[in-house]
Amino acid sequence: MDKNRRKFLKLTALGALGLTAAKYADLFGNAVPTKLKLDENDTKIRYAMVIDLKKCLAKKDCKLCIDACHKTHNVPDFKNKKDEIKWIWKEEYEHAFPDKENYYLKEELKHSMVPLLCNHCDNPPCTKVCPTKATWKRDDGIVMMDWHRCIGCRYCMAACPYGSRSFNWRDPRTNISELSYDFPTRTKGVVEKCTFCNVRIVKGLIPACVEACTEKALLFGDLNDRKSNVRKLLKDNFSIRRKPVLGTEPEIYYIV
Amino acid sequence: MLEYVLKGSKNYWGWIFFLSAIIILSFFFYLEQNSYGLGITGLSRNVTWGFYIAQFTFLVGVAASGVMVVLPYYLHDFKTFGKLTILGEFLAISSVIMCMLFIFVDMGQPFRIVNVFLYPSPESPMFWDTVALGGYLLLNVIISRVVLDAERKSIAPPKWIKPVIIISIPWAISIHTVTAFLYSGLVAKPFWMTAILAPRFLASAFSSGPALLILMCLFLKRITKFDPGKEAIQKLAIIITYAMAANIFFILMEIFTTYYSAMPEHIHHFQYLFSGLDGNTNLVPWMWISVILALSALVFLFFPSARRNEKILFGICLAIFVSIWIDKGLGMVVTGFIPTSLGDVADYWPTIPEVLISLGIWALGFLLITIFYKIALSVRKEIVTETK
């Protein structure tokens, strides 16, 4: 009996190994990401956002973009820092741009609060560490998430140099004040972040934050289209990005 | 061979029940974590990895250190380690299982962990770490089982096991190297992004692991007839001396580049560890205890007369184990997040449920070690098995 059992176990183990090997076999071909070079002849869409800080800072305590986003996407509010989840938020200039600050910085910028969100990088360091491909970069540049596949290991959070990702430390559904039925809620134990309003874009709408901004400080568009609003704005104004030195190629531009 | 586990002295059973009680208690806390979520820990949006992942990192080192007895015995035919190899392998098995459990309890959606295999992602170091740890566990289970079986039957182990053992040697190095790559490849974390992280991990592993092995050997020598031999212990002590010297040397390399260049994004982390940052001194006393223990242990190790005194050696090994546990099991992971990418000096301290769940996994590890060592020593008739 013992012999048979052992033989059975061995065969089962071998079978399992074989199946796993078959699964892995076709994977190594397309693993290495290529840097997305912006090509003038490229007809592909490349979504990006331009934030005009001059306009944004004109309205100091404005939270319209944040409220609109969090309401649209059922982002819970726990009212404490430990459980905090945020997709778009405001941070002091010197925290947002630590490599572009100085003591005698322009008064207007010095302690200003800058809106931050996921940079939808061209070389996202978060997607490459994900052990389940639960987060990835789409062809149009949006860094997406699959909340049904995420195992909640939080490796992507450690890998993001911009602090753009949040984790559901507890059940989020208890702390959503007004439920939006156009967007799913999440469950505890998964990571979430800005999706550039992918659900609204397919309906032909602009992102909720852009729509909510009364100052027209947020602009959303296709970077590969030479005639797009974002390209025009970037051509005429001096713009900066967060930590470009890291090579992540962030696609949120700030006009200062 | 399982019958050996079921026969034992009163002390043996007392110890088994003690460990089981801790495991059961911690299991209830895990159920609580499972229903409430990971918010039960001290972790937050800013510090997303903490005590669990740190224990994992430390224990990968202990697992890898089994190679320090396997390599001399099988590659250099160093017979003195004859009695130790099986203990090294069993220590490795227990540690890898602890590692896997620490990963498991750290998952937000633990029952989706199968996704790692359903959607394998060779771009992620975590994928390779899973492969490395799983493979290492399998290798050690096969090796220890075959070798011990042969020993029980008083025959030579089959020839095919030798190449398997040889493979397990670089494999042991790989588990801690890949674990270092989890950290050292992240542009977001300057504290971890250093090429010396993997060498540092290995050096600290090859001192803390054998230190634990010596502690257990000396303990077993007192309570059983087991004796690995004075020379074996002394050779292990020399291995620890070199590994510890290398470890401290590597840390000094880090200290020099960081403090001389004084680049804010590097130096801030070290300030958080050793002098406190923005009034946050959570880890400072711990880190200095670690430094003092490490340095005094090394000084004692340099003197053969101290090393040869098994009582002093016990103290040295305890100091090294605790020192490296503080360094890797407490400081190394959390400090990567403090200050955060946005410059916040975040606060993190493990909560009581977090510590108890961790304690439960440690207890389970020690339970496994106890059972495995009981089997190994019983096979060699180094334990008089009481039968009532």
Residue A167 to residue B337, Cβ atoms within 8 A: no
Block residue for tokens 């090394």: B298
* A121-142 confidence digits (pLDDT tens): 999 999 999 999 999 999 999 9
Q: What is the mean pLDDT of chain B?
A: 94
Instruction: Give the pLDDT confidence score for residue A33 in this predicted structure.
Output: 37
Contact of A169 with chain B, judged by CB distance below 8 Å, is answered with yes
- Give the nearest partner residue to B36 out of A81, A170, A246, using CB atoms: A170
Contact of A3 with chain B, judged by CB distance below 8 Å, is answered with no
C-alpha span between A85 and B46 (Å, rounded)? 11
Give percent of chain B above pLDDT 90.
91
- In this prediction, residues A221-227 reach a mean pLDDT of 93
Residue B34, classified by CB atoms within 10 Å of its CB into exposed (0-12), middle (13-18) or buried (19+), is: middle
C-alpha span between A99 and A17 (Å, rounded)? 49
Residue A160 to residue B120, Cβ atoms within 8 A: no
Residue B187 to residue A246, Cβ atoms within 8 A: yes
* B318-357 confidence digits (pLDDT tens): 999 999 999 999 999 999 999 999 999 999 999 999 999 9
C-alpha span between B192 and B180 (Å, rounded)? 9
CA nearest to B44 within chain A = A82
For chain A, what are the domain ranges? 45-255
Is pLDDT of A64 > 90? yes
* A76-116 confidence digits (pLDDT tens): 999 999 999 999 999 999 999 998 888 999 888 988 999 99
Burial per residue of B228-257, b for 16 or more beta-carbon CB atoms within 10 angstroms, e otherwise: bbeebbbbbbebbbebbebbbebbeebeee
C-alpha span between A194 and A207 (Å, rounded)? 10
Instruction: Give the pLDDT confidence score for residue A32 in this predicted structure.
Output: 35
Query: In Å, how far is A205's CA from the nearest CA of chain B?
Result: 30
Q: Collapsing DSSP states into helix, strand and coil, what is residue B91?
A: helix
- Give the nearest partner residue to A167 out of B48, B121, B340, using CB atoms: B48
C-alpha span between A222 and A204 (Å, rounded)? 13
For chain B, what are the domain ranges? 2-207+216-379
- In this prediction, residues B87-113 reach a mean pLDDT of 96
Query: In Å, how far is B134's CA from the nearest CA of chain A?
Result: 12
C-alpha span between A200 and A182 (Å, rounded)? 9
Residues 12-51 of chain A whose Cβ lies under 8 A from any Cβ of chain B:
20, 23-24, 27-28, 31-33
Residue B123 to residue A128, Cβ atoms within 8 A: yes
Query: In Å, how far is B344's CA from the nearest CA of chain A?
Result: 8
Please provide the DSSP assignment of A116-177 as one string.
Answer: EE----SS-HHHHH-TT--EEE-TTS-EEE-TTT-----HHHHH-TT---EE-SS-GGGG-S
Kindly report the CATH class assigned to A45-255: alpha beta
Instruction: Give the pLDDT confidence score for residue B241 in this predicted structure.
Output: 97
Q: What is the ipTM of this complex?
A: 0.93
Residue B44 to residue A153, Cβ atoms within 8 A: no
Q: Collapsing DSSP states into helix, strand and coil, what is residue A252?
A: strand
User: Residue A181 — pLDDT band, cuts 50, 70, 90?
Assistant: very high
Is pLDDT of B173 > 90? yes
Among candidate residues B284, B269, B231, the one with its CA nearest the CA of residue B80: B231
Instruction: Give the pLDDT confidence score for residue B381 in this predicted structure.
Output: 76
Q: Counting every residue, how long is chain A? A: 256
pTM of the model: 0.91
The answer to whether B55 and B358 are in contact (CB under 8 A) is yes
Contacts of B341 in chain A (CB under 8 A): 160-163
Is pLDDT of B388 > 60? no
Among candidate residues A126, A166, A161, the one with its CA nearest the CA of residue A142: A126
Least confident of A36-40, A242-246, B141-145, B196-200: A36-40
* B194-248 confidence digits (pLDDT tens): 999 999 999 999 999 999 999 999 999 998 888 999 999 999 999 999 999 999 9
Is pLDDT of A28 > 70? no
**Alpha carbon separation from A131 to A149, A164, B128, B134 (Å, rounded):** 10, 19, 9, 15
Is pLDDT of A25 > 60? no
Residue A132 to residue B106, Cβ atoms within 8 A: no
Block residue for tokens 């590890």: B365
Tokens coding B269:
């982390």
- In this prediction, residues B242-263 reach a mean pLDDT of 97
Query: In Å, how far is A168's CA from the nearest CA of chain B?
Result: 8
Instruction: Give the pLDDT confidence score for residue A35 in this predicted structure.
Output: 38
The answer to whether B102 and B53 are in contact (CB under 8 A) is yes
Contacts of A85 in chain B (CB under 8 A): 45
Instruction: Give the pLDDT confidence score for residue A3 in this predicted structure.
Output: 62
The answer to whether A85 and A75 are in contact (CB under 8 A) is yes
Instruction: Give the pLDDT confidence score for residue B84 in this predicted structure.
Output: 92
Least confident of A34-38, B187-191, B262-266: A34-38
* B17-34 confidence digits (pLDDT tens): 999 999 999 999 999 999
Query: In Å, how far is B37's CA from the nearest CA of chain A?
Result: 5
Dihedral sign, Cα of residue A202, residue A160, residue A28, residue B56? negative
C-alpha span between A14 and A34 (Å, rounded)? 36
Instruction: Give the pLDDT confidence score for residue B29 in this predicted structure.
Output: 98
Residues 133-162 of chain A whose Cβ lies under 8 A from any Cβ of chain B:
133-134, 149-155, 157-162
Instruction: Give the pLDDT confidence score for residue B3 in this predicted structure.
Output: 84
Least confident of A89-103, A168-182, A208-222, B373-387: B373-387
Q: Tell me whether strands A252-255 and A47-52 are parallel, antiparallel or unpaired.
A: parallel
Residue A153 to residue B344, Cβ atoms within 8 A: no
Residue A5, classified by CB atoms within 10 Å of its CB into exposed (0-12), middle (13-18) or buried (19+), is: exposed
Residue B292 vs residue B379, higher pLDDT:
B292
- CATH of span B2-207+216-379: 1.20.1630.10
Among candidate residues B282, B184, B215, the one with its CA nearest the CA of residue B65: B215
Is pLDDT of A17 > 70? no
User: Residue B384 — pLDDT band, cuts 50, 70, 90?
Assistant: low
**Alpha carbon separation from B77 to A27, B69, B163, B336 (Å, rounded):** 41, 11, 14, 42
Residue B130 to residue A131, Cβ atoms within 8 A: yes
User: Residue A37 — pLDDT band, cuts 50, 70, 90?
Assistant: very low
Instruction: Give the pLDDT confidence score for residue A20 in this predicted structure.
Output: 55
Tokens coding A193:
């972040």
The answer to whether B81 and B87 are in contact (CB under 8 A) is no
Query: In Å, how far is A156's CA from the nearest CA of chain B?
Result: 10
